[in-house]
Chain A
Amino acid sequence: MADFEPTIVAFCCHYCAYGAADLAGSMRLEYPTNIRVIRLPCTGKITPVFLLRAFEKGADGVYVAGCLEGDCHFIQGNLVAKPRVNYTKKLIQEVGLEPERLEMFNMSAAMGPRFAEVAREFTERIKNLGPSPLNKKNRNKTDKAA
């Protein structure tokens, strides 16, 4: 699976995780190009529908990154998001996808290095899991591998 480059969607909140991504860039920190960031006003905006759509469209992994717990700019958006992410893990499991393909992380806008670290670790995790069976781009490769 060495040649497998996963597509990973990262739903990042405007105030913290997106700021951290920005800082990682300013600090010239390297992180995998597999990450596609989608900015949300707050992780409280996330619903199972968004997360499922990402998988449906072929994402190999999806994560939600919000502010540190207790530091949400909308007070408790990240606390709303967390159980939704956990609930969606069950929904993707029902479909036959590994729940590890979905995760929630918390970081402040000052944590540029943490953003890069999460991006690296999560990419590694998804590489180990292999392509999502719904990723059409990688489907032929999976078929060959199987």
Chain B
Amino acid sequence: MVIGERKPFDEIMRMAEGLKKIMVLGCGGCVTVCLTGGHDEVRVLSSQLRMARDKAGNPIEIIEKTIERQCDPEYVDQVESIVPEVDAVFSMACGAGVQFMAEKYTGKPVYPSLNTTFVGGSKKEGYYVERCQTCGECKLYYTGGICPIARCSKSLLNGPCGGSTKGKCEIDPDVDCAWQLIIDRLKSLGMMDRYEDIMPANDWRTNRDGGPRKMIREDFQR
């Protein structure tokens, strides 16, 4: 899922300066699961904003709403009747959701309440880790299911580097060396021959270097 973290409260307060009525819009997708932008978090942020503004003697009116997903036009359309009522929309979705809202509601400022941080998963409730960097050319077949792009600090394709010490990465003793993990895993799978193959330099054009990407399912085009 896409992981996000709420922006510092002060930053959100600054974006809301001068606004009298806003909508805080949650997303029922990834950011609900990672506890940063769902129904509950909408209520928390709205409550905080109301209190801070009330305290300053400058109250703000807030419409609290959460839709299924903000990265899908059919759900984004659902707030059509609310958007004209407010001065701005504070989206609690990832950056994709914020932009889908902004694209649909061209005449309305749409502001981000989260910083979108990475693609990952939950180790346990409330604890999220990065696992994918969306490079566009998956290498997990060769590396025993452990991503050298996302998990090696240098994104090395033929690791480890000389900084690997007792299984830990040189950038931080708490960070596992991805290449140590890869080797351990390939060994246990009896697939060390895959490690012996030298991987060619990465083609970053499938990553962001080729500009913004799209994916089209032809059978769905009309």
* B-binding residues in A (CB < 8 A): 47-49, 52-53, 55-56, 91-92, 94-97, 133-134
**How far is the CB of B54 from the nearest CB of chain A, in Å?**
6
| Interface pair A95/B44, CB less than 8 Å apart | no
Among the stretches B45-53, B80-88, B156-164, the one at the interface with A is B45-53
Residues 2-34 of B, flagged 1 when their CB comes within 8 A of A and 0 if not, give 000000011000000000000000000000000
- A56 CA to B53 CA, complexed, in Å: 11
Query: Interface residues of B, CB < 8 Å — how many?
Result: 12
For the A-B complex, the count of residue pairs with Cβ-Cβ distances under 8 Å equals: 37
Chain A at the B interface: mostly helix, strand, loop or mixed? helix
Alpha-carbon distance A36/B47, docked complex (angstroms): 21
Contact A56 B55 (CB under 8 A): no
Given the contacts A47-B40, A49-B40, A97 and B47 also touching, CB distance less than 8 Å: no
Chain A residues lying within 8 Å of B52, measured Cβ to Cβ, are 94-96
Residues of chain A within 8 A of B151, CB atoms compared: none
Query: Chain B at the A interface: mostly helix, strand, loop or mixed?
Result: helix
Residues of B at under 8 Å CB distance from A?
9-10, 40, 43-44, 47-48, 50-52, 54-55
Contact partner, B48, options A47, A91, A133, Cβ 8 Å: A91
**Which residues of A lie under 8 Å from residue B43 when comparing CB positions?**
49, 52
Q: Would you list the 3 A-B pairs with minimal beta carbon distance, nearest first?
A: A94-B9, A52-B47, A95-B51
**17 extra A-B contacts, CB within 8 A, seeds A52-B44, A95-B9, A96-B52:** A48-B44, A49-B40, A49-B47, A52-B43, A52-B47, A55-B51, A56-B47, A56-B51, A91-B44, A91-B48, A94-B52, A95-B48, A95-B51, A95-B52, A95-B55, A97-B51, A134-B55
* Residues on the A chain within 8 Å of B51, using CB: 52, 55-56, 92, 95, 97, 134
